[in-house]
Amino acid sequence: MDTTLADFTAARDRGRPILLTGGAVVTMDPDISDLDTGDVLLAGSKIVAIGPDLRADPEHAAAAASALVVDTRGAIVSPGFVDTHRHAWETQLRRSIPDVTDLGEYVMSTLAGIAPNYGPEDMYIGTRLAALTALDAGITTMLDFSHNSRSTAHSDAALNALVDTGIRGVHAAMGPHFGEWDRQWPADMNRLVSDFHGTADGLVTVRLAALSTDEIAGPAIAYGPDLASLARELGVWTSIDAVFGVPSSEAIVRWARMGILDPTLTLIHATGLTAEAWAAMGEAGVSVSLAPTSDAQIGLETAVPAVDEALAAGIRPGLSIDVEVALASDMFTQMRALLVIQRMRATNAVYGTEETRSRITTRDVLDFATLQGARANALGHVTGSLSPGKDADLLIVRADDVNNMPLNDAVGTLVLGSDARNIDTVLVAGSPRKWAGALVGEDIDALREDVIRSRDAITGRVAATL
């Protein structure tokens, strides 16, 4: 790609259209076909048009002719990925428990042992690192399930980190599980929504976060009528974590009877749920966030990502990273893990018989990682697909790199072949966040110093309490 960042930025600042041309285009819009070779026309923050040759299209020829041309030959233009659930504050401790044995070990080591030792600056640095890592790996939208909000300063630090990185960030606020904190949540939700919802030119939004039951940390942070009423009063969605097993199933059925199971809820994990719970979820139209590697590696309930159950209930799920203390940071890993687990189960279930079972496809998991994730984050009208009128949250992925050449199938290449090194360009609302393979405007050496300093300070405080 010959266009420089300076040329691109200057054109955008002057309001000049930008034409991405010559590459494969994967839209993930069910009404717009993919193109082996095509054009994407941008104006400011928006996608204007998609077509095989917009300079020959009477409706868009004038704008395309006046546009800055970005040559995307040898590349794939696709929507950015959408992460529906990540505990971003933990990132300084990434891979600190790589062989975690179960949920209990994670809860006691990270949430009970480490979380109380975080200050606001640590919240900022952890969240900033998570957001920049997401952008580097092509995740243009990240929901930060921020469950270490020990004070208003902690919450503000996490939110400001999203603002400062330029990611499309969703801050899901919840009080901590353990340790001392100011008990400002959930009363502080009104201030967070007032001060941050829709800030950064609409890139940052706020929602409520809760657990499904009181098993882990008591009733204060468990979803129920009071939190449902607050979310409705504020006009925000709610993300509910630790949704698994019989207790969560019983809670879901109870919420349905209370009238507080509705399309503004995103239920996370959803492993080991009963048929009755899934029926209630499908009828209510809730969203589901799967965490494929988390369920399998940490061993949550059945340890099997509930993609078959979700699809049977009429729910197309989003995907998420979850906890970097034990898991990978990128969406490529989530797509591949889910794909192979589901196809393995489908094949294994009928081995030695004449029966066949449905197997999901590479397009399915790319849909989960883009459009369905956007819908779970209440942003399906803004992002998740390459569609005229939506924001230009998109990737340019090099398909002629050694691990991707030759390009035979664009969706297959995105899901099975690519990784962060192949992502040349990341745009969020048309603004470059990664260009020519490097994050834009970031001093990685300074970031590394901040991260190491914060990690060492946290672990030092933990050691002092032992």
- Dump the DSSP string for 63-78: HHHHSEEEE-TTEEEE
For residue 218, the model assigns a pLDDT of 84
Q: Which has the closest alpha carbon to 433: 144, 86, 164, 119?
A: 164
pLDDT tops 90 at residue 11: yes
Mean pLDDT over the full length of the chain: 97
Contacts of 336 (CB under 8 A, 6+ apart): 365, 415, 416
Per-residue pLDDT, averaged over 429-436, amounts to 98
What angle is formed at CA 113 by the lines to CA 110 and CA 116, rounded to 5 degrees? Answer: 95
How many CB atoms are located within 10 Å of the residue 379 CB? 21
Residue 146 main-chain phi, psi, to 5 deg: -90, 90
pLDDT tops 80 at residue 460: yes
For residue 29, the model assigns a pLDDT of 98
Domain residue ranges of the chain, discontinuous segments joined by +: 5-79+384-435, 81-376
pLDDT tops 90 at residue 2: no
Superfamily of domain 81-376, CATH level 4: Metal-dependent hydrolases (3.20.20.140)
Burial class (CB in 10 A: 0-12, 13-18, 19+), 440: middle
pLDDT tops 80 at residue 1: no
For residue 466, the model assigns a pLDDT of 81
Q: Looking up tokens 């996608």, which residue turns up?
A: 47
> How far apart are the C-alpha atoms of 114 and 101, rounded to whole Å?
17
For residue 336, the model assigns a pLDDT of 98
298-311 pLDDT tens trace: 999 999 999 999 99
Residue 42: strand, helix, or coil: strand
- Output the CATH code of domain 5-79+384-435: 2.30.40.10
Residues of the chain above pLDDT 70, percent:
100
For residue 215, the model assigns a pLDDT of 86
Higher pLDDT, 263 or 354: 263
Strands 68-71 and 139-146: unpaired
For residue 307, the model assigns a pLDDT of 98
200-247 pLDDT tens trace: 999 999 999 999 999 887 889 999 999 999 999 999 999 999 999 999
Residues of the chain above pLDDT 90, percent:
98
Per-residue pLDDT, averaged over 3-7, amounts to 96
What angle is formed at CA 87 by the lines to CA 135 and CA 438, rounded to 5 degrees? Answer: 15
Local confidence band at 281 (pLDDT 50, 70, 90 cut-offs)? very high
pLDDT tops 80 at residue 128: yes
Burial class (CB in 10 A: 0-12, 13-18, 19+), 56: exposed
For residue 5, the model assigns a pLDDT of 97
Q: How many CA atoms lie within 13 A of 408 on its CB side?
A: 6
247-272 pLDDT tens trace: 999 999 999 999 999 999 999 999 99
Compute, in degrees rounded to 10, the torsion defined by CA atoms 66, 67, 68, 74. Answer: -130
pLDDT tops 80 at residue 368: yes
Per-residue pLDDT, averaged over 170-190, amounts to 97
Q: Which has the closest alpha carbon to 46: 421, 458, 429, 433?
A: 429
38-87 pLDDT tens trace: 999 999 999 999 999 999 999 999 999 999 999 999 999 999 999 999 99
**What would the two tokens of residue 242 be?**
């630790």
Q: Which has the closest alpha carbon to 342: 322, 323, 368?
A: 368
For residue 28, the model assigns a pLDDT of 98
For residue 461, the model assigns a pLDDT of 97
